[in-house]
Amino acid sequence: MNAMRIVVIGSGFGGLNAAIEIRKKLKHSQHEITVISDKEEFIFRPSLIWLPFHKHSIKKLSFPLRPTFEKISVRFIEKSVKSLMPKQNYVICNDDVIIEYDYLILASGASPDWARIKGLEGKSASIYDVSSALKTREKLEEMEEGEPIVIGVAQENPNQGIAYEFLFELDAYLNERRIKCPITFFTYEKELFDGNGKEPTEKLEVLMAEKQIPYYCNVSIEQVDDGKVYLNNGERLPYSFLLVLPPYKGKECILSSKDFEHENGILPVHETLQSVQWENIYVVGDANNIKGTKTGRAAELQGVLAVENIVKQMHHEPLRSFQHDTLYFMELGKEGAMFIMNKPSKQGTLTCTTSGMMPHMMKRAFESYYLLKFS
């Protein structure tokens, strides 16, 4: 077999695990493996939830990528990708450098599409990256008694769990400081954390009642204007502090590439994770249109499967389909955390939901293990 050039775009959960898995499977080969990323560090994003509340330090949730890739002989290029040329099998970096490939794994992620909802851009706090999480911390430090708070999940957002975590962490934060502020929650989901089982929904309903937090399900935002959130059910929610999870859009390298069919930069894929247009391109994580909650675990599993299918494709073997499962830790403030598992098996679907301090400690331990394992 001729030496292949395998390029991974992105270095989050999907890209990092894809690159490591490629090297494992092609350990003694001459295949060239390249990761292109505009990030020099890996950020353990599930832990960003703690930054606004002074519960974590930046150093404890990140590590530099270059040494990790150098140890496994993976070429690391710290650049942005400007556009993709699938007909010619190459990508163009922001400095016009061209990187050729035989197989491409797109793990570029997605971006919050604030502009999709009228008036939302610039009004909502965010915790999608370190910088925005620290700015949110500053806003919270300025909170005063009685200021109305609105937290919500906008239509088409695929990672709803972040809003629930922020809600309960904020409730605990305000209680610790003896600041009373009315909080209202809303979501486009038909039920709280819809699609993840009956027990998580019931647990969240109980917590909302105990904490006297009014909430609206099955609603969408019409606009944000004049210090109010306008919902399609006629409600007008006044706020001093606002955090809304917006819809997602694909990265600019996809939006600017002419040879892809996409929906707002999100790429359609087969169950094998192959692009529906280009069989040598695999799309993992937030960049694809696979249904289900978008989490770091989903991106990791998809990155590993993409590599497995590339190797199978090289050897002309049948490809495997992606099978979604759920392993999710949701922080609940003073109540600890909730662990949610929905995992397919030969006997059906294994389900488990448990809450308390143990799941919180498990999440902390998993973060430490993950960073130690890959750094």
224-234: pLDDT as tens digits: 999 999 999 99
Which residues make beta-bridge pairs with 183?
149
Same fold, 5-111+248-314 and 114-246: yes
- Band of pLDDT at residue 176, cut at 50, 70 and 90: very high
Q: What pLDDT sits at residue 227?
A: 96
114-246: CATH architecture: 3-Layer(bba) Sandwich (3.50)
**Which residue reads 């530099």 in tokens?**
64
Radius of gyration of the chain (CA): 21
In the DSSP assignment, the letter for residue 268 is: P
Please, which residues have CB within 8 angstroms of residue 55's CB and are 6 or more apart in sequence? Answer: 169
> What integer is the mean pLDDT of 81-90?
97
Residue 177 pLDDT > 90, yes or no?
yes
Q: Is the pLDDT of residue 68 over 70?
A: yes
- Give me the CATH topology for the region 5-111+248-314: FAD/NAD(P)-binding domain (3.50.50)
* Stretch 351-355: mean pLDDT: 90
Instruction: Enter the DSSP assignment of 277.
Output: S
What pLDDT was estimated at residue 373?
Answer: 87
Q: What per-residue confidence (pLDDT) applies to 1?
A: 67
Overall average pLDDT of the 11-17 stretch: 97
- What residues pair up with 33 in beta bridges, in sequence order? 6
Is pLDDT at 274 greater than 80 in this prediction? yes
Q: What pLDDT is recorded for position 144?
A: 95
pLDDT exceeding 90 applies to what percent of the chain?
87
Element (DSSP H or E) covering residue 98: strand 98-100
| Banded pLDDT at 214 (limits 50, 70, 90) | very high
Average pLDDT of the chain, as a whole number? 94
Lowest mean pLDDT among 178-187, 215-224, 317-326: 317-326
Q: What is the mean pLDDT of residues 270-297?
A: 95
Q: How confident is the model at residue 39 (pLDDT cuts 50, 70, 90)?
A: very high
Contacts of 228 (CB under 8 A, 6+ apart): 236, 237, 238, 239
DSSP string, 176-237: HTT----EEEEESSSSTTTTS-HHHHHHHHHHHHHTT--EE-S--EEEEETTEEEETTS-EE
**Domain spans in the chain, listed from the N-terminal domain onward:** 5-111+248-314, 114-246
